[in-house]
Every structure is written in C-alpha cells, then in structure tokens.
Amino acid sequence: AYKETVAFYLNMVVKREAPFLLCSFLLIVISVVPLVNGWGRNGHFIICRIAQ
C-alpha cells in the first residue's frame, strides 16, 4: 500500500509540475542555444539575474 501511495503522489506531482518542468527546460534551451552560437553572453547574464 505504501508503494502504491507513493506512486500515486508522484504521478500527481508529475502531472501538476509537468508544465513547470517543460518551461524550465525551454528556458535552459533558450539560454544555452545563444551561448553555443557564441553571441549569448549578455542574454545568459540577464537570465541569471532574473533567476536570482
């Protein structure tokens, strides 16, 4: 029963938090891609400032 309860709560959390995780992933991609391209130092700095 304990495992089932944990699985149920994890499933609920995943469903509720999925949009948030997706947004976080998108933010990471948006901040990393310009850095890879080489012109994104200022953008990355701004994102870091917002995150703090």
Cα separation of 40 and 48, whole Å? 12
Domain that holds residue 31: 20-52
Local structure of residue 38 (DSSP, 8 states): T
Domain contains 1:
no
pLDDT at 48: 65
**Hey, what amino acid is at 1?**
A
Cα separation of 22 and 28, whole Å? 10
Cα separation of 47 and 37, whole Å? 16
Q: What is the pLDDT of residues 8-49, one digit of tens each?
A: 888 877 777 777 877 788 888 888 776 666 655 565 666 667
Domain contains 14:
no
pTM assigned to the model? 0.38
11 within 8 A of 18, measured Cβ to Cβ = no
Domain count, the chain: 1
43 within 8 A of 51, measured Cβ to Cβ = no
